[in-house]
Chains A and B, each alone.
Chain A
Amino acid sequence: MGRSMAGSGRLTRFIIRRDFFRLLLWIMSISFVTFSVPLALQELYPMQEQRDGIAETMRNPAMTAMVGPGDLENYTIGAMTAHQMLLLTAVAVALMNTLLAVRFTRFEEEAGMMEMVRSLSVDRRSPLLAAMTVLLGINTVLAFVLWIGLTCLGIEGMESSGALLYGLTLGGVGLFFAGVAVVCAQLVESARGATTLAMIVLVGSYVIQSSGNVTESVMIWLSPFGWVTSAQPFSENNGWPIVFLAVSSVVLGSIAGILQGKRDLGSGFIHQKPGREHASAFLKTPLALVLRLQRTGISVWAIGMLILGLSYGSVLGDLESFFDGNALLANMLTGNSDRPVAEQFLPMLMLVMAFIATIPGILALHKLVGEEKKGRVDSVLGRRVSRTQLMGGYVFVAVMNGVVMNSLAAIGLWLAGRSVMAEPLTIATVFGASAVQLPAIAVMIGVSSLLIGIAPRWSSLVWLYIVYSFVTLYLGSLFQVPDWAARLSPFGWVSEWPSESVNWMAECSLLGTAAVLVVIGLFGYRRRDIL
């Protein structure tokens, strides 16, 4: 320490004070979900026979791809929690760390606050060190809270050592992705670019984990999520993943520190080349501007969605052969339907993909608020551009993103399924199952438009609604969430086609609702002050 890290202690305290509630909210939400799951499981499956029954339904590659392997031979509440929740929680923790790390580093730098801080008696690497200290702290606190909390639940099969491993694994993977994000923040010159790059690593790690665990290959060693699924708390209790995560986090943090010491303020290592002196013939309208500003993001999401579809599709073959060999299980799962197993799984896969496809849609629309906050809307609206035209462009791109991303995932799933399945799904089946989700995505975009139009300060609430929908519908299929809770989400009204017939009434009502919400949002946007 000493003078070479001058000011880092003060900056650390400053970050904690500034973002205290943000940090608290993250820890509380992750802990809340983690503690409520084993309690719910105990409520639902008090007997070991019941849990063994569930274990049987988990013996399929789709499940393994999604949540990793579990101790299905000895499926206690602890093993069950670790199997169904550890990897998904790890993704949430990774997301939390990515967003926080970029916020503490490149965002501050891009917005210009870092310049003023660095003009004070503060070392070049102090802001980074302060950010990493806070991230280390929050992951440690998270691990500790989870350890104590899970131990205190006092559930049979959830002993303290397993709880400690559970907490440390999540804290470790969080630290790993904090490291990834701070390195990305060094490489790229913008906060958005750094977040995107870190997200690519996150999604890539998840995909590698999926294929690695399904094929039981060495690929799992390449992914931090592969290490997470190897920890197996409450059963095998492997400690080495913690060591892996800790060591690689330190390596990543050191790389970031070295890079920070070498570069200029505001610059990165991936440089810009001189650009156009004139705008292209395309860049003439507000809509063209939206597309031009978001083209990188849209392309990255498109590739990601295709890969996601491909990875889900690639397990359909294993799924098929697995159920073919187990008539009893197939019967139990599919409720005496004579439809192929893959088709039974389709609605659930499509639901997950639709949730993910909603994100780029909402992100595209939220750029409008971002532009407003950065004072760039004035320059556009100060010209011959109406507010309806401006917001209309953003809504159009949002809807386009939703449709294109959802369809790309479906294309990926169909392509991969076609090559691995004995009886491939028809393109009509796949696209039909994908298309029934679109009205629900449209409603989410509608909710976002409404908030931006009439309550821009609360526009982020739409994310809460998406998380609520995901929790009630996705986890709701694992536990028993009451019907009305699912119906509070637009996704709760989507037909499970092809397992059941399409409810045209519901689909049309969703589209109608979406249209009304967008129109109200547009009217609100026309009437309100630009911030």
Chain B
Amino acid sequence: MAILDVKGLTKTFGKFRALDGVDFEVRKGEVFGFIGPNGAGKSTTIRVLLGLLKRDAGTATIFGQDVWSDAVEIHRKIAYVPGDVNLWPNLTGGEVIDLFASLQGDVNAKRREELIVKFNLDTSKKCRTYSKGNRQKVALVAAFASDAELFILDEPTSGLDPLMERVFQQCVEEVKAAGKSVLLSSHILSEVERLCDRVGIIRSGVMVETGTLAELRHLTRSNLYVELNSPVTDIRQIPGVHELVEAGDGWKFQVDGDKLDAVMSYLSPYGIRRLESAPPTLEDLFMQHYGDVTGRAEEGDS
């Protein structure tokens, strides 16, 4: 069941098309990873979902309600952590957490205290004195102490140290175990790989890929390492082989998912002495899409 459903979402700022027909959904009880380079449209999408920006075309619903016209109703059951947490310099962290809780509705006082201890936050300090990481902790405590059904997290760990990142990941796992949904936008691909059930990659305002990690891997290249008995010179010529490098006694390269069989058939006559295969990391997927942009730009130039 889709908690959050976005279809053909378009947003322009003047002549600039920030979002150009974005489609994706977040289902109940899943963690959806939202990745893409800076300026790809992640934060714009999230700000449209929060009813802060008005979309120019497409539909966007959360809990089946329209994100613009039913914003207040929707916000009752969502928790949001912005990428740049800006707080009132003359209020303390504790005051801000309580204020956010009051504005949200239900206050879980016990959970609030637990989270403050977990995140190791001094709530008696004025927000003016907080570092980026500490401001993020304030927003995270306020979000995870709430009884939200959907968590919208926009690069929530960019200022946290590795210990706090771990605490954050535990929090996400806990809310997921409780059957709640999470939209996690992030640059930290290892984090997305660890936490997310499904992933969407956005580029220049277009969703270029969505699916589970397994599905995405199917579509893309595997990393192979082979050592052969007899020398072979023209691996590079085999269709579907990329990024070939000589490594030690063998070769390292990537193979397109649908060419794997053909490549293996070509190589087996040479006697395969050793074969290692690793699934592509999210970073590979990401770089593959990101690389395409530069590739296309070069083609355009020539």
Q: Mark out the residues of chain A between 370 and 392 whose CB falls within 8 Å of any chain B CB in the assembled complex.
A: 374-386
A262 CB within 8 Å of chain B: no
B95 touches A276 (CB 8 A): yes
The answer to whether residues A293 and B94 also contact, given A382-B80, A529-B54 and a CB cut-off of 8 A, is no
Interface class of chain A by DSSP:
loop
A13 CB within 8 Å of chain B: no
A274 CB within 8 Å of chain B: yes
Interface centre among A274, A275, A376 (most CB of B within 10 A): A275
Q: Which listed residue, B50, B80, B99, B128, touches A284 by the CB 8 Å rule? A: B99
The answer to whether residues A383 and B75 also contact, given A378-B82, A527-B54, A528-B54 and a CB cut-off of 8 A, is yes
B267 CB within 8 Å of chain A: no
A190 CB to nearest B CB, Å: 7
B88 touches A190 (CB 8 A): no
A476 CB within 8 Å of chain B: no
Closest to A274 in B: B124
Contacts of B54 in A (CB 8 A): 527-529
A277 touches B76 (CB 8 A): no
The answer to whether residues A380 and B89 also contact, given A386-B71, A386-B72 and a CB cut-off of 8 A, is no
A379 touches B100 (CB 8 A): yes
A276 touches B82 (CB 8 A): no
B91 touches A292 (CB 8 A): yes
Closest to A110 in B: B89
A283 touches B75 (CB 8 A): no
The answer to whether residues A383 and B103 also contact, given A272-B126, A375-B84, A376-B87 and a CB cut-off of 8 A, is yes
A530 touches B53 (CB 8 A): yes
A289 CB within 8 Å of chain B: yes
Cα A279 to Cα B103 in complex, Å, equals 12
Cα A272 to Cα B92 in complex, Å, equals 11
Closest to A529 in B: B53
A189 CB within 8 Å of chain B: yes
A531 CB to nearest B CB, Å: 9
A384 touches B52 (CB 8 A): no
A286 CB within 8 Å of chain B: yes
Cα A280 to Cα B97 in complex, Å, equals 12
B50 touches A378 (CB 8 A): yes
B189 CB to nearest A CB, Å: 26
25 A-B pairs with CB atoms under 8 Å apart are A274-B125, A275-B91, A275-B95, A276-B95, A277-B123, A278-B123, A279-B95, A279-B97, A279-B98, A283-B95, A283-B98, A283-B99, A285-B102, A285-B103, A289-B99, A378-B47, A378-B52, A378-B82, A380-B103, A381-B71, A383-B100, A383-B104, A384-B72, A384-B103, A528-B54
- Chain A residues engaging chain B, CB cutoff 8 angstroms: 110, 189-190, 272, 274-280, 283-286, 289, 292-293, 374-386, 527-530
- Chain B residues engaging chain A, CB cutoff 8 angstroms: 47, 50-54, 71-72, 75-76, 78, 80, 82, 84-92, 94-100, 102-105, 123-126, 128-129, 139
